[in-house]
Structure 1
Amino acid sequence: MSSITRIDGGPRMSQAVVHGNTVYLAGQVALDAGGESVTAQTRNILDRIDALLAKAGTDKTKLLSASIWLADMADFAEMNAVWDGWVARDNTPARAAVESKLAAPQFTVEIAVIAAL
C-alpha cells in the first residue's frame, strides 16, 4: 500500500499531494501578483509550481500533465509566451487550457500540474 504525503496542507486542501511516484498539485494562482498582468501572474504561478515540485522531490522535467484556466482566452498567447519560456522543451506534459470564471476577480490565470517523482 502506497503512503500519502500532503504538502502545505490546510483545512480545505493541500497544495500538493504525493502518492506512490506521482505528485498532484492544487490549482495555483498568483498570490504575489494578483491583479497584475497575465505575464506577471503566469510567472508567479510557475515560480510557485517550481517551489512545490521541489518540496515534493521533483521538478518540471517530470511533468505529466497540466491544466490551465484563463479568465479570458484572449490572454492565451500572453500566458503561452511565459509558459513556453519555462517548460522543459524535451519534457512537455499533456496539457489543456480553457476559459473559466476563476474564484476571485484579481486572478486571470490558474494552473494545476501532475508530475512524476
Structure 2
Amino acid sequence: MIQRLAEEGRLSGAVVHGGLVYLAGQVADDATLDAEGQTADILRQIDALLAEAGTSKKNLLSVQIILADIRDAPAMNRAWDAWLDPTAKPARMTIQAPLVDPAWRVEITGIAAIAG
C-alpha cells in the first residue's frame, strides 16, 4: 500500500511505502527568513510530516540538504544541531545548488523508517 501525505498540485510532501517515509524536498514557508530560520522552519515541517506518517526524526535514515549558497552551512548547522537527536543521527549529505525560488536558502529531503 502507498500512502501520500500533504498532497499539492505537483507532488506529495511525503510518500509512505514498504515501512519507509520518503520526504519531498521541503522548503521554508517564510522565505524572508535567513538560512538558520529557514532551516528551523523546514525541520518543523519534517517533524509534522514524520508524525503524520507514524514516525519521528529518531527514525531518519538519510537526509540530503541543498543550500543555495554553501556559505550558509554554519547557519544551517546551528538550526540542525539544535533540532538533531544526538542519539539518532541520520546519514547526511549537504551540497550547494540553485533552488527554484531565489528567496529559498535551504531545501531538505530524506528517508525515514516507520517506528515499530
TM-score normalized with structure 1 length: 0.94
Q: 1:23-76 deviations in whole A, cap 9, x for unaligned?
A: 001000001x20211111011000000000001000000000000000000010
Match of 2:13 among 9, 12, 15: 15
Query: Residues of 2 paired with 1:87 and 1:20: CA distance?
Result: 25
Give 1:103's match in structure 2, choosing from 63, 76, 100. Answer: 100
* 1:65 is the counterpart of 2:62: yes
Give the TM-score normalised by structure 2.
Answer: 0.95
1:49 aligned onto 2:46: yes
Specify the alignment match of 1:37 in structure 2. 34
| Greater displacement, 59-68 / 6-15 | 6-15
Seq. identity, %: 48
Q: Any unmatched runs of 5+ in structure 1?
A: none
List runs of 5+ in structure 2 lacking aligned partners: none
- Tell me the distance in 1 between the aligned counterparts of 2:35 and 2:9: 29
Partner of 1:86: 83
Aligned pair count reads 114
Q: What is the root-mean-square deviation of aligned Cα atoms in Å?
A: 0.8
